[in-house]
Structure 1
Amino acid sequence: MAYRNPAPTVDIIIELTDRPQRPIILIERLYEPLGWAIPGGFVDYGESVETAAIREAKEEIGLDIQLLEQFHVYSAPGRDQRKHTISIVFLAAAQGTPMAGDDAKHFKLFNLWELPENLCFDHGKILQDYWLYRHYGRRPTLG
C-alpha cells in the first residue's frame, strides 16, 4: 500500500505597516480554485516553512517581508479541494508597493472588516481567527 501524506503549505497574513490602518494583502488567484486568498503556497522539499513563507511572499506580491510569528496550523482534510494540505500560517509585516506575480492574477489591500466574500480554501476562517487575535488577543483553539 502506498502512503498518502498531506502536503505542507504556508499562508502569510501580511500587514502593510507603512499605510494607515495597516491593511492586509490578498491575492486574486490566477488558477483553480479561483477567488481571493492569503498569499502562500507549497513548501519545497528541503526548505523550512519560514523560508517558504518568505519565498512565496516575494513570488506572489513582490515584497520582502518580516516574519513576526507563527499564528496557527490549519489541517482539516477538506481545507483545499485539490488535496489534503496542512498550512502553517505566519503573521508578517511589509512596506512598499505590492505587485502581483507568480500565480496571483491581482492583489488588493483589505481592512479586516471589509473582506471579499469569495475567499478560497479556509481563508475566511483563518482571517476571522486573525481578527479575533488582533482585536481581543484570542488565539484559535485546538480541535
Structure 2
Amino acid sequence: MGLPKTPVLTTDCVIFDSGGRVLLIRRGHPPYAGSYALPGGFVEIGETVEEACRREALEETGIKVDVLRLVGIYSDPARDPRGHTVSAAYVTILPFAVTPKAGSDAAGAEWVDNWRSVELAFDHAQILGDADALLRAPPR
C-alpha cells in the first residue's frame, strides 16, 4: 500500500538505557521487513507528535516513556520508499532497562549494545547518530 501524494507525518523514538544501549525493533512488515528500526510510526489525527512517540513506543515495545527531547525533523522526500514522510524524532534515556515485549507491527524488540554496527531501516542510523551527538554535547 502506498502513501498519499502529500507528505505524511511520522515520529521516531530513540530510547537509550543508562548503560548506553538502544531499544530497537525488528520490522514486521515491508518495507524493510525483518530489519532493525527505531520504534515509531504514523501520527494519528488528534494527537501530538509527542503523544504519537509515546504511543508507538508502548505499542511496539511494551515500554512506557515519559520525558522526550526533540532530536530533529527529518524530511528527505526519499527517506521512505512508500512515499514522502516527515518525521519528528525524539530521544529519551530510561534510568534502567525494562524488558521489551514486541507488539503492534514489530516482529521483535530488544536492547542493542553495538547499535553503531547494525544496519537500520530508513534513515534511522542518521537519527540515532544525531540523538547520540545531542546527548553528548555540552550544555549551552
Per the normalisation by structure 1, the TM-score is 0.83
CA shift for structure 1 position 132: 2.6
Counterpart position of 2:134: 133
Instruction: Name the count of aligned residue pairs.
Output: 132
Q: Any idea what the Cα deviations from partners look like across 1:8-47, whole Å, max 9, x if unmatched?
A: 0000001124xxx231100000000121100000000111
Question: Which whole-Å deviations, capped at 9, do the CAs of 1:70-127 have from their partners, x for residues lacking one?
Answer: 110000000010111000001123342110111110112123654412x111111112
Q: Are the structure 2 counterparts of residues 81 and 14 from structure 1 closer, same or farther at C-alpha, using a change threshold of 3 Å? A: same
Matched, 1:13 2:14: yes
Residue in 1 aligned with 2:37? 37
Q: Which runs of 5+ in 1 are unaligned?
A: 138-143
1:22 counterpart letter in structure 2: G
- Residue 55 of structure 1 pairs with residue 55 of structure 2: yes
Q: 1:26 to 1:54 in 2, by over 3 A?
A: same
TM-score, length basis structure 2? 0.84
Contact 2:24 2:37 in 1 (8 A): yes
Say which SS state the counterpart of residue 134 (structure 2) adopts: helix
Q: Give the conservation status (yes or no) of the 8 Å contact 1:10–1:41.
A: yes
Secondary structure, aligned partner of 1:79? coil
* Identity in percent: 38
